Structure 1
Amino acid sequence: MQTILGAGGPIADELARELHRHHTHDIRLVSRHPKAVNPTDELVAADLTDAEATSRAVAGSDVVYLTVGLPMDSQLWEEKFPAMMRNTIAAVKQHGAKLVFFDNTYMYAGTPTLQTEDTAFEPNGRKGAVRAQLATMLLDEMAAGSIEALIGRAPEFYGPGKTKSWTNALVFDRIRAGKRPFVPVSATTRRSLIWTPDASRALALLGNTPDAYGKTWHLPIDQNRLTYRQLIEIASDATGRKIGYTVLPRAVFVAGARFVPALREANELLPRYRGDNLFDASRFADRFPEFQVTTYRQGIEDILGQS
């Protein structure tokens, strides 16, 4: 049995498909209101802030994937995420399961320095501090030998369907709608973006590779690291029309944050748009050279080709 805690998001849904395609049909999906992705999925409704409910959801699992997402709300993250991680760690210990934690890069400083799996945690906001806390909780358990686990860490998303990110919302979704895209902060700094189905395929591969455990892995990306200007040029080629764009300077986000809670919550992420964002995934590429990463051109053509 392989169990996904936090089912229902784009990462979890594609993870369920990938597990079903290549690894197992014995899949359990866990969330408050789970919905089947594959015809054989087992559905379990559970609140992961409830220790007993989490234990019941994990019981009988060989591998557990923690992919929970929460709205961009610092207080909610501080209240919910640590409890979810504590309960998940306790449950996999109790039932002898392996744990695969899907993580992000909020705990990194957001500077142009190359980000590797050994990069120190230097969060510059409340949400980054929570993510550092979660990763540290799990790393401490791994170092103590009390749990068999791995961390799969991803940079900003872009992708098909209901993928949520600034890049999707401000750039590609607007291009699809025939609107002028907005570029956050700078069009000339290099970006590290992960194609969401690639992230899910990589998580499934790691979770089913025995020697992947005990490590942190940066999940695979197209390491050409293009700028927003270059990404929009690809979109122009894909659509056959010249696409202009408007850069939203940091001052716009700061001013808007006084009136729009979502912008206020996003402020701590702005430094990573001011300079190059260089996420290194060479450890994964070296270990899994056969893994086919979706190029930016392939991904953009896929997004803009959706009806």
Structure 2
Amino acid sequence: MHTVLGANGPIGEELTRELHRTFTQDIRLVSRKPAKIHDTDRLVAADLTDPEATDRAVEGSEVAYLTVGLPMDSALWERQFPAMMRNVIDSCAKYGTKLVFFDNTYMYPGTTTPQTETTGFEPNGRKGRVRARIATTLLDAMADKSVEAVICRAPEFYGPGKTKSLTNSLVFDRIKAGKRPLVPVSAHTARSLIWTPDASRAMALIGNTPDAYGQTWHLPVDPDRLTYAELVEAAGEITGRRIRYTVLPEAVFRIGGRFIGQLGETRELLPRYRGDNIFDTTKFATRFPDFPVTSYREGIAGILVS
């Protein structure tokens, strides 16, 4: 049985579909309020900050996929993510379950240096420090052989359905609603964005590839990285509209963050919008050369023409 921990989010849902389509129909979905995607799915309601509940969620699983996401709230991340990771590692070790962890890039430095799987952790804020901590906890468990695991790391999302990200909310969701898109910091720096269904399909593939374990993998992005100006231009070509955009300078986030919590929570990410953000996926492309990666144009069309 394969178990998806955090099954109700966009990554968990797409992962479940891919597992069912390609690898197994013996799937357990775990969240506080899980809901079936397929008739054959098994449901377990669990709070992963509770060790006993985590045991119940993991017991009997061949592979567990940790895809839990939390709202942009530093204090919440500090309270819950370390406890979840510790409990999931302990449960997987207890039951001999393989662990596939879906990670992000908050712990990477916000520089223009291309990010690879060996990039050191240099977090720029509270959420980044939490992500560095939980990734290090898992890396330590992998190193001492207490759990067989793999880390699947993704940059900022864009995508359909429930996908949430700065780019989706400020740019593509506003374009779809007929509103002027708002570009964070700069319209002329290259972005590395991952199409959420690609992230989930790649995670399912890695989780079912025995020799992929014991490593960190950068999940695949379109290598033809575009700037926000180019992304908006592509959206205009797809919709047949002339779309103008407004650039939000860092001061908007800095000053607005004093009054609007969500704006304040984005501030630690802003350095990566000042210059090119290059998330290198050469390792994945070399190991899985036949994996079809969604182009930015295809992804934008999937969002806006649906």
**TM tier relative to shorter chain:** over 0.9
**Aligned pairs (5 A) from 1:1-307:** 1-306=1-306
Aligned length: 306
The TM-score, its normalising length taken from structure 1, stands at 0.99
- DSSP 3-state at the match of 2:157: strand
Q: Separation in 2 of the partners of 1:110 and 1:194?
A: 18
Q: Separation in 1 of the partners of 2:38 and 2:62?
A: 19
Q: Indicate the percent of aligned positions where both proteins have the same amino acid.
A: 70
Q: CA deviation at 1:7?
A: 1.1
Q: CA deviation at 1:205?
A: 0.2
Deviation readout 1:256-307 (Å, 9 max, x if unpaired): 011001111111011111111100011000000010000000000111102x
Q: CA deviation at 1:224?
A: 1.1
Q: CA deviation at 1:38?
A: 1.2
Q: CA deviation at 1:211?
A: 0.4
Q: CA deviation at 1:129?
A: 0.2
Q: CA deviation at 1:147?
A: 1.1
Q: Separation in 2 of the partners of 1:83 and 1:259?
A: 30
AA partner of residue 153 (structure 2): R
Q: CA deviation at 1:123?
A: 0.1
Q: Separation in 2 of the partners of 1:56 and 1:174?
A: 41
AA partner of residue 112 (structure 1): T
AA partner of residue 159 (structure 1): G
Gaps of 5+ in 1: none
Q: CA deviation at 1:204?
A: 0.4
Q: Separation in 1 of the partners of 2:260 and 2:241?
A: 33
Q: Separation in 1 of the partners of 2:242 and 2:62?
A: 51
AA partner of residue 62 (structure 1): E
Q: Separation in 1 of the partners of 2:39 and 2:97?
A: 24
AA partner of residue 31 (structure 1): S
Q: Separation in 2 of the partners of 1:302 and 1:17?
A: 18
AA partner of residue 57 (structure 2): A
- DSSP 3-state at the match of 1:152: strand
Deviation readout 1:179-230 (Å, 9 max, x if unpaired): 1100000000000000000000000000000000000000000011110000
List 4+ stretches of structure 1 deviating above 6 A.
none
AA partner of residue 160 (structure 2): P
What RMSD, in angstroms, separates the aligned Cα atoms of the two structures? 0.5
The TM-score, its normalising length taken from structure 2, stands at 0.99
Q: Separation in 2 of the partners of 1:141 and 1:63?
A: 16
Q: Separation in 2 of the partners of 1:150 and 1:172?
A: 32
Q: Separation in 2 of the partners of 1:214 and 1:110?
A: 26
Q: Separation in 2 of the partners of 1:168 and 1:265?
A: 16
Q: Separation in 2 of the partners of 1:141 and 1:284?
A: 23
- DSSP 3-state at the match of 2:117: coil
